Amino acid sequence: MKPARVAVLGGGRSSEHEVSLASSASVREGLLEAGHEPIAIEIGRDGVWRRDGEEVAVTPGRGLDGVDVVFPVLHGPFGEDGTVQGLLECLDVPYVGAGVLASALCMDKVMFKEVMAHAGIPQVEYRAVREESFASERDRVLAEVSGLGLPVFVKPARLGSSVGIARVLSADEMPGALASAFEHDSLAIVEAAARGLEVECSVMGNDDPIASQPGEIVLGAGEAGWYDYEAKYSPGGMRLVVPARVPDRVCERIQEIAVEAFRLSGCSGLARVDFFIEGERVLLNELNTMPGFTTTSVFAALFEASGVAYAELLDRLVQLAFERHEGEARVRH
């Protein structure tokens, strides 16, 4: 492929701003190594886009600052949720990763689970809770979520990096956990706790996606006992074991469901699909359309272990972005 001018978007308005800056710096280096020309565009916490310190101005239909393709290395709301993807569609510029609908769907843990449940994909039991119904019908809501038993996980519906999530061990912790989730989103999800392993699988492609080897998340000696923010980002917080220590047929089932979830949610480019494994049961947890993307992040490490090195991975993703854009240009609207 000939070298492409790639705008790498990093930062953003979500609480995953710092994580995105780290991911986007790695992506720029990898693109350079692959022979492309990365251009850093940093999105401030205030939402302002800057290139070399200058504010970026855009005109719908006119692309983005003369680049060939955009790599939105943004995590969480206002980046991974279809909003930036919608802007890029309006600019008519090719971009890496999922489009508007898939991004929005996978960002929303409730909507995603509903769509996966409809297709019969196994998941933990869950209930959605709206802030407004918790305020107006508190007792009914508490009775309903108590049906999930204990412990449960309480999460804001649209966030990532474990921010705002609580593991609830007793009924009296539930109101506080819901209140914490509502600080981040007016919609929360309460989930029965899965036991067993956490396993993640990377997927890449458009119409014919491939799955990496699944990897197992082994937690360090952190206090929480689950994969919280500290375990994710502090040194020694977690260790990735590839391939995951599960029987071959479980491994294949994980890869199958990863690809199926990717297709069902209409993803393109890349995704990291996360699971809980209870014995031989494979339960889908979530799908991240723009997972952490440093060279040591799980997404890249799993492809590395599957024979696709970091720079090659980036090169293929850029190619997939062009292919998708060309494919869509052929469709009459």
Ligand X SMILES: Nc1ncnc2c1ncn2[C@@H]1O[C@H](COP(=O)(O)OP(=O)(O)O)[C@@H](O)[C@H]1O
Residues lying near ligand X in the complex (CB under 6 A): 124, 153, 155, 160-162, 165, 191, 193-194, 198, 226-227, 274, 276, 285-286
Q: Which is nearer to ligand X, 164 or 205 (CB)?
A: 164
Catalytic residue check, 285: no
In the complex, least distance from residue 18 CB atom to ligand X, rounded to whole angstroms: 15
Tell the smallest beta-carbon distance from residue 64 to ligand X (Å): 28
Whether the Cβ atoms of residue 60 and residue 90 lie closer than 8 Å to each other: yes
| Residue 211, CB-side half-sphere exposure with 13 Å CA sphere | 21
- From the list 26, 161, 285, 306, the catalytic residue is 161
Q: What is the DSSP letter of 234?
A: S
For residues 96 and 269, is the Cβ–Cβ distance under 8 A?
yes
Angle CA 164–112–117, to nearest 5: 125
Q: 201 Cβ partners below 8 Å, 6+ apart?
A: 211, 212, 213, 214, 215, 254, 255, 258, 272, 273, 274, 275, 302
Between 49 and 153, CB nearer to ligand X = 153
CB of 230 to ligand X, least distance (A): 12
Q: Which residues, at least 6 apart from 134, have a Cβ–Cβ distance to it below 8 Å?
A: 141, 178, 182, 188
Q: How many angstroms separate the CA atoms of 93 and 5, rounded?
A: 12
In terms of Cβ atoms closer than 10 Å to its own Cβ (0-12, 13-18, 19+), residue 139 is: exposed
Cβ closest to ligand X, residue 165 vs residue 318: 165
272: annotated active-site residue: yes
**Least CB distance to ligand X at residue 282 (A):** 14
Which of residues 142 and 193 has its CB atom nearest to ligand X in the complex? 193
Residue facing ligand X at closest CB distance: 227
Q: Which residue among 185, 274, 304, 315 is the active-site one?
A: 274
Distances (CA, A) of 301 to 204, 220, 228, 291: 13, 18, 20, 12
**Nearest C-alpha neighbor of 178 from the set 215, 146, 207, 209:** 146
**Nearest distance, CB of residue 258 and ligand X, angstroms:** 15
286 is a catalytic site residue: yes
113 touches 126 (CB < 8 A): yes
Q: Distance between CA 296 and CA 163 in Å, rounded? A: 21
Whether 288 is a known active-site residue: answer yes
274 vs 315, which CB is nearer to ligand X?
Answer: 274
Residue 200: active-site member: no
Query: Exactly one of 24, 212, 288, 297 is catalytic; which is it?
Result: 288
Strand partners, 153: 167, 191
Q: Out of 14, 16, 216, 297, which one is annotated catalytic?
A: 16
Catalytic residue at 12? no
Taking the complex as a whole, how short is the minimal distance between the CB of residue 143 and ligand X, in angstroms? 20
Catalytic choice (272, 297, 304, 310) = 272
Query: Is 81 one of the catalytic residues?
Result: no
Active site residue 227: no
Name the token pair of 83: 């909003």
**Which is catalytic among the residues 81, 191, 286, 304?**
286
Q: Which is nearer to ligand X, 125 or 280 (CB)?
A: 125
Q: Which residues are the active-site residues?
A: 16, 161, 233, 272, 274, 286, 288, 292
